[in-house]
Amino acid sequence: MLKLTARQEQILNLIKDAIENTGFPPTRAEIATELGFRSVNAAEEHLQALARKGVIELSPGISRGIRLCDARDQMRSQHSRDAQMTLPHARLMQLSLPLVGRVAAGSPILALEHIEATYQVDPSLFSSKPDFLLKVRGMSMRDAGILDGDLLAVKKADSVKNGQIIVARLGDDVTVKRYRKTGALIELLPENSDFVPIKIKPDDDDFALEGLAVGLLRSWV
């Protein structure tokens, strides 16, 4: 791996922190805002430089499509032809994930009647191994880069941290929001000023945590 500049180290650490804290890499706009760049183009140029140096991979057409490379990835980038001879067939390395569409009230999210399709996907696209894909409906998470029609990769979880993006069940609805808990009060925060936060009281039996967002796919459907 080539030596990184101080700015590149800063951006790499920002990416690592975002993935650790929220399960998602940052957007170009978030990087630009955090580091005081005048435009997202400056962030993109630094990301391209990091990709050329083998520390990240950029996935075109995928929102937040930044993946950290480990030492083995970097070694493979230097010896790619030899490595390809020893890798399993690409299809054998893929995950088979069910795509969940509309969810009927009161039934498990992975019930057979909710599964619209099954996709073979590259596990390296996600911050951790997902259990299913959820088709996003609406634009309440627009400013987090999650748009109507996107496929959200979700890992089932019993607990989450403040600031993470989650999938929750609210009575008859399944929603994607950013999680925040203050004392006993849970708030589900949108990433679009046209929407208001949803407040969950301690005695609200309609709320159930379905999972943690660990990645996003776009242009699949």
Which one of 53, 63, 155, 177 is the catalytic residue?
Answer: 177
Rg (CA), the chain: 19
Given a contact cutoff of 8 angstroms between Cβ atoms, the answer to whether 217 and 125 are in contact is yes
Give the C-alpha separation, 38 to 156, whole Å: 38
Token couple for 207: 């709320």
Which one of 140, 181, 201, 219 is the catalytic residue?
Answer: 140
Give the C-alpha separation, 63 to 65, whole Å: 5
Q: How many other C-beta atoms lie within 10 A of the C-beta of residue 156?
A: 14
3-class state of residue 18 by DSSP: helix
Based on the residue annotation, tell me whether 177 is a catalytic residue of this protein: yes
Token couple for 209: 């945590």
Based on the residue annotation, tell me whether 140 is a catalytic residue of this protein: yes
| Residues designated catalytic | 140, 177
